């Protein structure tokens, strides 16, 4: 894949303006308003950068995921034009999923 398809997270203004990246485990079981999803690169390969607002606390943050289930579902939501949308991330065995 071409580098042109991806934005560098360090160059996304919204990411610089918010907090540090949040581990997904800290977001488990919370209702999050997913505001945008963008392709990203990590040292492990392709991933998605996700900006959210916690609906209970109002906290705004960003996380990165390369999990197969999450990336497929989030990409479908983006392709179908359903953002913003509410999601709750849950761990099922060793994988993350969306309720």
Mean per-residue pLDDT, 70-96: 92
Element of type H or E holding 32? strand 32-42
Structural tokens at position 94: 């060793």
| Total domain count, the chain | 1
Give me the pLDDT at residue 21, please: 73
Answer yes or no: pTM beyond 0.85: no
Q: How big is the chain by its Cα radius of gyration, in Å? A: 13
What is the distance in angstroms between the CA of the first residue and the CA of the last residue of the chain? 30
Q: Among candidates 42, 25, 38, which has minimal Cα distance to 96?
A: 25
39 vs 48: CA distance, rounded Å: 5
- Expressed as residue numbers, the domain containing 55 is 3-98
17 vs 99: CA distance, rounded Å: 28
Give me the pLDDT at residue 41, please: 84
Provide, rounded to the nearest whole percent, the portion of the chain with pLDDT above 70: 80
pLDDT digits (tens, 9 = 90+) for 42-81: 888 899 999 999 999 999 999 999 888 999 999 999 999 9
């Amino acid at each position: 894949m071409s580098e042109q398809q991806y934005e560098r997270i360090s160059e996304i203004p919204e990411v610089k303006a918010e907090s540090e990246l949040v581990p997904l485990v800290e977001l488990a079981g919370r209702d999050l308003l997913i505001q945008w999803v963008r392709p990203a690169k990590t040292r492990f390969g392709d991933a998605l950068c996700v900006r959210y607002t916690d609906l209970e606390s109002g906290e705004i943050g960003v996380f990165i995921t390369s999990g197969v289930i999450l990336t497929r579902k989030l990409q479908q939501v983006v392709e179908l034009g359903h953002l913003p949308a509410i999601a709750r991330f849950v761990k099922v065995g060793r994988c993350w999923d969306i309720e």
